[in-house]
Amino acid sequence: MSDARGAIEQFGGNDLHTKLLLAASLAATAILSSTPAAAALVIDQAQDTFAQGNIFSYGPGFSNLPLGQSITAGMSGRLGAFDIAANRFVDLYTGTAATLTLEIRAGNGLNGTLLGSTTQTLGCNAAADFSSLAGTPCGVRFALTSLGIDVVAGQQYSLLLTGTGAVTGTVFEYGWLSTSTGFGPPANPYAGGQKYAALFPQAGLEDMTFRTLIDTAAGGVPEPSSWALLIAGFGLTGAAMRRRRHLAAA
C-alpha cells in the first residue's frame, strides 16, 4: 500500500483528479495480477468398486498400452487430477518406479483430438485414496491442472496411459466376475464410459477403478481481497468522472 501511495504522489502531484484515476488503475492492476486461490479438487466422475486386478505390460512384441478409461464429465471446469486404483507400476527389469504418459483426448476412444498429455513417475499417492476398497489397492494420481484442460459437462473424454520400456503393473477394474466355476457375467457399473486395453479388449464390459477430479480454483478466479480492490477502483473511477463533469460545468 505504501508503494501505491508513493506512485500516486510521484505521478499525480497534487491534482486530485489524476490521483483518483491512478488509484483506480492500481486497483485494476492488482485484480489482474492477483494470485489464484489454492487448488481445490472435487470428485466429478468415479467408479469405486472392483472385482479383480488386470495385469498390463509393455515390451517388445506385446503391449497392453494404451490402457485407459473414457468418462462423461458431470460438471464443467478445469480437469485437475486422474486417480487410478493400481499397483506395481514398475520397470520390469530394474524394479524402479515406472514413468508413463497420460493422454487426454476428446470423445470416447483412442483417436479423438489430443487435448493434452503429461508424463509422470507413478507411485502410491496418499491423495488418491482407495483404501476403503477390499484388497487395499494403491492409489496413483496424475496431476493435471497445469495442462489447462477445461471439460464441459455432458461431453465425453478419454484418458489413456501410454509408455515405452518394460512397464508392468496391475490396474484394478470391475468387469468379468470371478466365480467358483470360472468367470461370470460381465458388469459395467460406470455408464458414462468404458475401459480400453490392448490385450484385454472387452472395452464395453469393463471399467477401471478410477476418479476424475475438477480443480474449482483454477482459471485465476480472484480472492475476496482482490474483489475489494476492484470495487474500490470502480468507486474511485466514478468519483473522478463526477469531479471531471463538475469542473467542466463550472
What does the pLDDT look like over 199-219, one tens digit per residue? 665 556 778 889 999 999 885
* pLDDT tens per residue, range 47-92: 988 776 666 766 656 667 788 899 999 999 999 999 988 876 777 7
Q: How confident is the model at residue 10 (pLDDT cuts 50, 70, 90)?
A: low
Q: How confident is the model at residue 187 (pLDDT cuts 50, 70, 90)?
A: low
Among 11-20, 94-103, 189-198, 210-219, where is mean pLDDT lowest? 11-20
The SS3 of residue 85 is strand
Domains of the chain: 2-34+222-249 (no CATH), 41-215 (2.60.120)
The SS3 of residue 25 is helix
In sequence order, the 6+-apart residues with CB closer than 8 A to the CB of 197 are 54, 56, 64, 67, 203, 206
Residues 191-209 as b/e (b if ≥16 CB within 10 A, e otherwise) read ebbbbbbeebeebebbbbb
Distance from C-alpha of 247 to C-alpha of 250, rounded to nearest angstrom:
5
β-strand 77-91 against 67-72: which pairing, if any?
Answer: unpaired
